[in-house]
Structure 1
Amino acid sequence: MPDLIGMHFGGPLLVHDPARCAGQRCCIHNPSDHLMRDWPQLWRDDRQLMERVCRHGAGHPDPDDLDYKRRTRGDEYAHYEGIHGCDGCCSGRCDG
């Protein structure tokens, strides 16, 4: 089944078919109950990565996107994609 074209902040976004992640965690089709679930999503086309944006404007890799990539591309890929300039919000250690 081909990927789907969706919209993200008014621009086109290629999204995998829901059948590819059926029954699994997915930041688009089946997000888990993680700390950042209610934060706005931002697609980083330069990194091919979904981020969650905290109240300070910092982008944090969406854990469900990393999980999907870990399953489909391997642990090493997801590990490096999870590295980011962090203000502590994604781990609940943010004091501001």
Structure 2
Amino acid sequence: MTPINLIATLTPAPGQAAALRAGLLAITPPSRQERGCERYEVLESGEDDTLRFHVIERFTDEVALQAHGDSDHFRAFSARFGEWLAGPPEVIRARDLPA
């Protein structure tokens, strides 16, 4: 199996940083409990107009990633994107390098 790494950057819409932060903090515990989730971290960068949230995710395989996307908690969270985000999330899919 090839693990899947995702780095998602979310930019809050004006006045929505606190709501987006709360949503991210709420989705983190159930995401970490999913079968196949190896890492699920939420980071914050910038201040005020440059505030961004970054979610670092690692799943064991495509099946685990799909299950995350299909989960009730993720669907409820992503249903609020239009309200909370200034634009679509930027998602980077990355591969492990042998070290």
Structure with bigger strand share is: 2
User: Which protein, 1 or 2, shows the higher relative CO under an 8 Å CA cutoff with sep ≥ 6?
Assistant: 2
Structure with bigger helix share is: 2
- For Structure 1 versus Structure 2, the TM-score category normalised by the shorter chain is 0.3 to 0.5
> Structure 1-normalised TM-score?
0.32
> Structure 2-normalised TM-score?
0.32
